[in-house]
Amino acid sequence: MPLELVTLRCLKDNYAYLLHGEGGTALIDAPEAMPILTELEARGWTLDAILLTHHHGDHIDGVAEIVKATGAQVIGNGNDAERLPPLDVAATPGQRLTVLGEPVDVIDVSGHTVGHVAFHFPQSGCAFTADSLMAIGCGRLFEGDAPMMWDSLTRLNALPGETQICSGHDYCAANGAFALSVDPDNAALRDRLEAVADSHRPCSPATLEEERATNPFLRVNELRDALGMQGAPDVEVFARLRKMKDEF
Total length of the chain: 248
120 labelled as ligand-binding?
no
Return the CA Rg of the chain. Answer: 18
Nearest to 65 by CA among 89, 41, 14, 31: 31
- DSSP string computed for 191-243: HHHHHHHTS---S--EEHHHHHHH-GGG-HHHHTTTTT-TT--HHHHHHHHHH
Is 54 marked within a binding site? yes
Helix, strand, coil: what percent of the chain each, to 5? 35, 25, 40
Q: Is 59 annotated as a binding residue?
A: yes
The answer to whether residues 144 and 112 touch, using CB atoms and an 8 Å cutoff, is: yes
- 112 annotated to a ligand binding site: yes
Q: Flag whether 200 is marked binding.
A: no
Distance CA 202, CA 205 (A): 7
Could you tell me how far CA 176 lies from the centroid of its own chain? 17
User: 185 burial class (0-12, 13-18, 19+ CB within 10 angstroms)?
Assistant: exposed
Consult the annotation and say whether 169 binds a ligand: yes
Residue positions in the annotated binding site?
54, 56, 58-59, 112, 131, 169
Residue positions in the annotated binding site for Zn(2+)?
54, 56, 58-59, 112, 131, 169
